[in-house]
Amino acid sequence: MISERDLILILDFGSQYTQLIARRIREQGIYSLVKSYDTDISEIKNLNPRGIILSGGPNSVNFKKTLKPNKEIFSLEIPILGICYGMQLLSKEFGGKVIKSSKKEFGDSKLIIRKKSKLFKDIKINVEHKVWMSHSDKVINAPLNFTKIGESTNSKIAAFENTTTDIFGIQFHPEVTHTSIGKKILKNFILICKCKKSWTASKISKEMIHKIKSDIGDDKVILALSGGVDSSVVAAILSKAIGKHLSCIFIDTGLLRKNEIIEVKNITSSLKINLTTVDASRKFLLALRGVKDPEKKRKIIGKCFIDVFNAEAKKIKNVKYLGQGTIYPDVIESSSKNSESDVIKSHHNVGGLPKKMKLKLVEPIRDLFKDEVRRVGLELGLPKALINRHPFPGPGLAVRILGEINHEKIKILQEVDYIFIDELRNQNLYNKIDQALAVLIPSKSVGVMGDKRQYGYVIALRAVNTTDFMTATACHISHQTLNNISTRIVNEVNGVARVVYDITSKPPGTIEWE
Ligand code: XMP
């Protein structure tokens, strides 16, 4: 959804923080997009950005085959900010010198601003500021017409500027919260680019609804509703745009949380959406019978889901579009030329559907980060409790019951999960945790209850904090709270004899256990 609004374009050279730069710019109400470092100049001109940021990256500008943007970006006469590798690129491009540093700088460092600059407006000079660094090369000679404006612990030239062309370079990462002055620096760059604020939840929602109305007209759309934030927000947008021409399908895989169907019905009835619920739990359980391997389980569930959805969708006549909850990080990741990551888990989604069903895709939130999806959801009147819900994986409880699945284990885990989440809410912890879950370990353990011998399953509880779900740390929940939760679970759920708490970070552990 490219619009008329002022844009800051980020060219991605592979830094793990690139997405964060875009989020920080958008947090200030300015539209920002991430594109690959070698994006065609005609595309860049079409986007008509007010400014460009060159991201950091793992390469060296001194490599023979170094990553470079199209040179023409320097003739667009718009402000440019190079961050880390981006600064080194600027240095090389304009005749400065970059060498391998004898001392690498990773993590916290100190920046001293040595000269007043538009980029450092309202930031004190000649005092130390905490900044986050991650580099092994450094600039030792600023290019001609560039002035050094700051130095750090290990780099004499940690920031430079050319005030005639408004090109700036900084060796540290302003997008990372550890850089105390980072937000101010990005705000100053936005000012230098003369961007007008236009990126607010209310404007975004209105534009989306307007665009869908004009793109889709009177055609029909189907959408697989999962009860999660993304598909619910997509449903809300589509329903506001096309009303009765939206049909939602909710598939009960039998692997859902307790009361999930009731919650989904509440959402759709408040939005007056056509909803078909399909109880396909027998089909899923049958297909999963005897299967222990996590990847096999995921594949079976994905296939069953597509089959059931396909069969239901066929019953709705003259459908042209399939709604999908793709969000911006998925778009960036799948278009990034630098990502050659291993498939750790094959995520279940409805990706195979459009081809099979010959439907066009409508992806209203594909330009939004998760926090923006939430804000749009609230703007459209979705309940706060739904918007702040922790993620729940497509394969559901199947990847939280280790090994083979059966009805009894599902029932136990549904009850356990319900109690765990209920207690976290009671203790005001739910919204401080990014994801909490319970896992059923299919080994039995001995216990004693009321003088009677118990022999039941082991439950592992997991609660993590994370910003992007790529890395995560286990939450510190007090022993007292864990103790209360454990007591409730063992007392209230038949078949559980023991509760443990998972303290593994990601990496090396993943968030789900399978
Ligand atoms: P992992 O276990 O890979 O999970 O650390 C990261 C995040 O992704 C969720 N997850 C999934 N979501 N389909 C989904 O829709 C899946 O197959 C799937 N597997 C994991 C997980 O809950 C966590 O939020």
* C-beta of 506 in contact with ligand 1 (< 6 A): yes
235 is written with which tokens? 């449903």
Closest CA to 254 of 293, 225, 298, 286: 286
Q: What 3-state class would DSSP assign to 232?
A: helix
Question: Residue 124 C-alpha to ligand 1 middle, in angstroms?
Answer: 44
Residue 438, domain CATH? 3.30.300.10
> Could you tell me if 346 and 410 lie in one domain?
no
The pLDDT of 366-383, averaged and rounded, is 95
Number of compact structural domains in the chain:
3
> Could you tell me if 133 and 227 lie in one domain?
no
> Could you tell me if 28 and 145 lie in one domain?
yes
**Share above pLDDT 90 across residues of the chain, in percent, rounded to a whole number:** 85
- Lowest-confidence pick of 122-136, 238-252, 301-315, 325-339: 325-339
* C-beta of 511 in contact with ligand 1 (< 6 A): yes
* C-beta of 228 in contact with ligand 1 (< 6 A): no
Asked whether the predicted pLDDT for residue 508 surpasses 80, the reply is: yes
Asked whether the predicted pLDDT for residue 342 surpasses 70, the reply is: no
> Could you tell me if 83 and 229 lie in one domain?
no
The pLDDT of 185-212, averaged and rounded, is 97
Asked whether the predicted pLDDT for residue 384 surpasses 70, the reply is: yes
The pLDDT of 207-218, averaged and rounded, is 95
The pTM of this model reads 0.87
In terms of Cβ atoms closer than 10 Å to its own Cβ (0-12, 13-18, 19+), residue 418 is middle
pLDDT in tens, 318-338: 999 999 999 998 888 776 654
Residue 2 lies in a domain: no
Q: What is the mean pLDDT of the chain?
A: 93
Q: Starting from the edge strand earliest in sequence, which strands make up the sheet with 97-113, in order?
A: 31-36, 7-12, 51-54, 80-83, 167-170, 159-162, 147-152, 97-113, 128-141
The pLDDT of residue 353? 63
User: Which one of 298, 344, 345, 390 would you pick to mutate in the ligand 1 pocket, going by the greatest count of ligand atoms within 8 A of its CB?
Assistant: 345
Residue 237 lies in a domain: yes
Residue 512 lies in a domain: no
User: Which one of 229, 255, 399, 469 would you pick to mutate in the ligand 1 pocket, going by the greatest count of ligand atoms within 8 A of its CB?
Assistant: 469
Q: What 3-state class would DSSP assign to 258?
A: coil
Write the DSSP assignment of 160-197 as a string of letters.
EEETTTTEEEESS-TTSTTSTTHHHHHHHHHHHTTPPP
Assign 2 a pLDDT band (cuts: 50, 70, 90): very low
> Could you tell me if 207 and 351 lie in one domain?
yes
Question: Residue 373 C-alpha to ligand 1 middle, in angstroms?
Answer: 18
In terms of Cβ atoms closer than 10 Å to its own Cβ (0-12, 13-18, 19+), residue 46 is exposed
* C-beta of 74 in contact with ligand 1 (< 6 A): no
Alpha helices, DSSP H only, in 84-228? 85-93, 182-192, 201-216
| Percentages (nearest 5) of helix, strand, coil residues in the chain | 35, 25, 40
The pLDDT of 470-478, averaged and rounded, is 93
> Could you tell me if 27 and 147 lie in one domain?
yes
* C-beta of 393 in contact with ligand 1 (< 6 A): yes
Phi, psi of 250 (to 5 degrees): -115, 120
* C-beta of 66 in contact with ligand 1 (< 6 A): no
Supply the range of the domain harboring residue 163. Answer: 7-192
Q: Which of 157, 192, 227 is the last residue of a domain?
A: 192
Assign 457 a pLDDT band (cuts: 50, 70, 90): very high
Asked whether the predicted pLDDT for residue 360 surpasses 80, the reply is: yes
Residue 41, domain CATH? 3.40.50.880
Question: Residue 462 C-alpha to ligand 1 middle, in angstroms?
Answer: 14
The pLDDT of residue 13? 96
**Share above pLDDT 70 across residues of the chain, in percent, rounded to a whole number:** 95
The pLDDT of 99-124, averaged and rounded, is 92
Question: Residue 226 C-alpha to ligand 1 middle, in angstroms?
Answer: 14
- Lowest-confidence pick of 16-25, 284-293, 444-453, 476-485: 444-453
The pLDDT of residue 341? 45
The pLDDT of 165-191, averaged and rounded, is 96
Q: Residue 255: enclosing H or E segment and its boundaries?
A: none
> Could you tell me if 175 and 254 lie in one domain?
no
Closest-lying ligand 1 atom to the alpha carbon of residue 512: 2
Residue 141 lies in a domain: yes
Asked whether the predicted pLDDT for residue 352 surpasses 60, the reply is: no
Closest-lying ligand 1 atom to the alpha carbon of residue 395: 17
Question: Residue 393 C-alpha to ligand 1 middle, in angstroms?
Answer: 5
Phi, psi of 281 (to 5 degrees): -60, -35
Closest-lying ligand 1 atom to the alpha carbon of residue 509: 5
Residue 271, domain CATH? 3.40.50.620
User: Which one of 225, 349, 511 would you pick to mutate in the ligand 1 pocket, going by the greatest count of ligand atoms within 8 A of its CB?
Assistant: 511
* C-beta of 232 in contact with ligand 1 (< 6 A): no
Buried b (16+ CB within 10 A) or exposed e, 384-405: eebbebbebbbbbbbbbbbeeb
* C-beta of 346 in contact with ligand 1 (< 6 A): no
Question: Residue 514 C-alpha to ligand 1 middle, in angstroms?
Answer: 9
Question: Which amino acid is residue 292, in one-letter code?
Answer: K
Residue 395 lies in a domain: no
Residue 514 lies in a domain: no
Question: Taking a C-beta distance cutoff of 8 angstroms, is the pair 360, 320 a contact?
Answer: yes
Asked whether the predicted pLDDT for residue 499 surpasses 80, the reply is: yes
DSSP-assigned letter for residue 100: E
Taking the C-alpha atoms of residue 180 and residue 514, their distance in angstroms, rounded to an integer, is 38
The pLDDT of residue 340? 40
Question: Taking a C-beta distance cutoff of 8 angstroms, is the pair 82, 98 a contact?
Answer: no
Q: Which of 140, 158, 192 is the last residue of a domain?
A: 192
Residue 339 lies in a domain: yes
Which residue's alpha carbon is at the smallest distance from atom 7 of ligand 1?
469
The pLDDT of residue 70? 97
Assign 412 a pLDDT band (cuts: 50, 70, 90): very high
The pLDDT of 337-341, averaged and rounded, is 46
> Could you tell me if 258 and 312 lie in one domain?
yes
- Lowest-confidence pick of 253-257, 334-338, 413-417, 487-491: 334-338
Question: Residue 244 C-alpha to ligand 1 middle, in angstroms?
Answer: 32
Question: Residue 159 C-alpha to ligand 1 middle, in angstroms?
Answer: 40
> Could you tell me if 378 and 409 lie in one domain?
no
pLDDT in tens, 49-88: 999 999 999 999 999 889 999 999 999 999 999 999 999 9
> Could you tell me if 348 and 483 lie in one domain?
no
Asked whether the predicted pLDDT for residue 461 surpasses 60, the reply is: yes
Phi, psi of 454 (to 5 degrees): -110, 145
What are the distances in angstroms from CA 313 to CA 134, 202, 227, 249, 302? 50, 32, 18, 8, 16
pLDDT in tens, 255-279: 999 999 998 998 899 888 999 999 9
353 is written with which tokens? 């559907």
* C-beta of 505 in contact with ligand 1 (< 6 A): no
* C-beta of 299 in contact with ligand 1 (< 6 A): no
348 is written with which tokens? 């279940």
Question: Residue 340 C-alpha to ligand 1 middle, in angstroms?
Answer: 19
Question: Residue 464 C-alpha to ligand 1 middle, in angstroms?
Answer: 13
Q: For the packed helices 18-27 and 182-192, what is the interaxial angle rounded to 10 degrees?
A: 70
The pLDDT of residue 467? 81
Which residue's alpha carbon is at the smallest distance from atom 24 of ligand 1?
391
Which residue's alpha carbon is at the smallest distance from atom 16 of ligand 1?
347
Give me the active site residues, please.
Answer: 84, 173, 175
* C-beta of 395 in contact with ligand 1 (< 6 A): yes
> Could you tell me if 83 and 138 lie in one domain?
yes
Residue 286 lies in a domain: yes
Whether cis (ω within 30° of 0) applies to the bond prior to 508 is yes
Taking the C-alpha atoms of residue 110 and residue 428, their distance in angstroms, rounded to an integer, is 37
- Lowest-confidence pick of 61-65, 245-249, 278-282, 467-471: 467-471
Which residue's alpha carbon is at the smallest distance from atom 20 of ligand 1?
393
Q: Which of 329, 359, 387 is the last residue of a domain?
A: 387
End-to-end CA distance of the chain: 36
Taking the C-alpha atoms of residue 88 and residue 300, their distance in angstroms, rounded to an integer, is 49
Closest-lying ligand 1 atom to the alpha carbon of residue 506: 5
Assign 339 a pLDDT band (cuts: 50, 70, 90): very low
* C-beta of 347 in contact with ligand 1 (< 6 A): yes
> Could you tell me if 245 and 285 lie in one domain?
yes
Asked whether the predicted pLDDT for residue 414 surpasses 60, the reply is: yes
Assign 354 a pLDDT band (cuts: 50, 70, 90): low
Asked whether the predicted pLDDT for residue 98 surpasses 60, the reply is: yes
